[in-house]
Structure 1
Amino acid sequence: MTRIAHTRTRLAAIAAALLITASAAGSAAALGDSAPGSARQQREAAALTGTAKLYRPAGDDITFTFDAHLAAKDNMHPDRAYGTFRFRHVFPNGTSGWAEGSVDCLLTGGKVAVVTGVITATDIGIKGRRVGMSVHDLGRHDRLGYSWVNKEAEEHLPPCVSSAPFEKVEAGTGDFTVLPWHPEYEQKS
């Protein structure tokens, strides 16, 4: 091989390597926030997920499940939250009731979340009613509260309102996860 041919081959190999590197960098930049594991990956603004059974020594089986989220783009609009919730109560005598609904607001602060939503399906006659629930994420010792402690408040409950998380969950069942909300306020100049 002549010296010129060898130099051309080497230059072609270097150019190909540079193109591959540039292409990979461009792809990573294009993925930006959505690339799994990317340092620039943008998390959602807030979330409440998980299931737990309430502690009831009388034998009631009461379970709450949440899959509530607030997208990063809606950070300053908790009333744009989305997702679902479900609760079920089986009494010791075997009678039961359940409801599921669509989330319409989510606020979180530290490990505490307040979520509201409208009942979309139920067997207890409260379809269309807004309910509020609160969760304190304490590992396997979570706590939960709900708006129907006060009958008057339940009938006219505004978005993002509930009681304090006063109920204990049954040992070992609390797997609620609260993603803290970080509001971003405009800076005064």
Structure 2
Amino acid sequence: MKRRTKIVVLGSALLLTAGAAPAATASDAPPQREAAALTSTASDAPHRREAAALTGTAKLYRSAGDDITFSFDAHLAAKDKADPMKATGTFAFSHYRDDFGARAKVEVDCLVTGGKVAVVSGVITESDLPGAEGKRVGVTVHDLGRHDRLGYSWASTGRPGQGNEPPECVSSAPFEKVEKGTGDFTVVPWQPEL
């Protein structure tokens, strides 16, 4: 009986010591570390991830040396999970070769993702391409790590401002290759309740 009591007391003392050690460390730490400890405790609360996202930048590969860049910062909030047309953010693209080229900035109006593929569309808000402002375009991205791929609506509709506009969240298959070493696209897959 005495031996069991000693084991229980010793076990309890070890548990109390183990539980008190982190508390002593946090209270003895400088204020910055103490704040970090409080922050990490607060961030342990359940966090709702966004419903979908497409981020990153890459240059497209062209053997002729064209400088083509796409950048994305598109998001669908968790609260808007059921409506991809409530997506927010922007994307931009540019295409230059020799003395010719243009750029455009786009306000996102729809984002749908599935696995590693994203389709985003939006209306051009700024561009030096004649007739492009106010026109909708769509882009498709396949997030394949170092071998990302990309497609765009004007591959079949005509260049922005001179062709047809696609509806929201419509683009082409990701037929273009990203230039080696430039792809950092990240797709957060959409998981709607079906």
Q: Residue by residue, what CA displacement relative to the aligned partner does 1:10-49 show, whole Å, maximum 9, x if unpaired?
A: xxxxxxxxxxxxxxxxxxxxxxxxx874251100000000
Q: Tell me if 1:120 matches 2:125.
A: yes
Q: Tell me if 1:76 matches 2:82.
A: yes
Correspondence for 1:148: 154
Q: Residue 129 of structure 1 contacts residue 155 of structure 1 at CA under 8 Å; is this kept in 2?
A: no
2:109 to 104, 110, 113: 104
How many percent identity over aligned positions? 65
Say how many residue pairs are matched.
150
Structure 1 runs (4+) deviating above 6 angstroms are none
Length-normalised TM-score, structure 1: 0.76
Distance (whole Å) between structure 2 residues aligned to residue 36 and residue 114 of structure 1: 34
Q: Residue 58 of structure 2 contacts residue 70 of structure 2 at CA under 8 Å; is this kept in 1?
A: yes
Q: Tell me if 1:167 matches 2:167.
A: no
Amino acid at match of 2:127: T
Q: How does 1:36-115 map to 2 (within 5 A)?
A: 37-38=43-44, 40-91=46-97, 93-115=98-120
Q: Residue 64 of structure 1 contacts residue 85 of structure 1 at CA under 8 Å; is this kept in 2?
A: yes
Length-normalised TM-score, structure 2: 0.74
Following superposition, the deviation at residue 184 of structure 1 comes to 1.1
Structure 2: give runs of 5+ residues left out of the alignment: 1-40
Q: Point out the more displaced range, 144-153 or 61-70.
A: 144-153
Q: Residue 142 of structure 1 contacts residue 169 of structure 1 at CA under 8 Å; is this kept in 2?
A: yes
Structure 1: give runs of 5+ residues left out of the alignment: 1-34
Q: Point out the more displaced range, 152-161 or 71-80.
A: 152-161
Aligned-pair RMSD on alpha carbons?
A: 1.6
Distance (whole Å) between structure 2 residues aligned to residue 171 and residue 77 of structure 1: 35
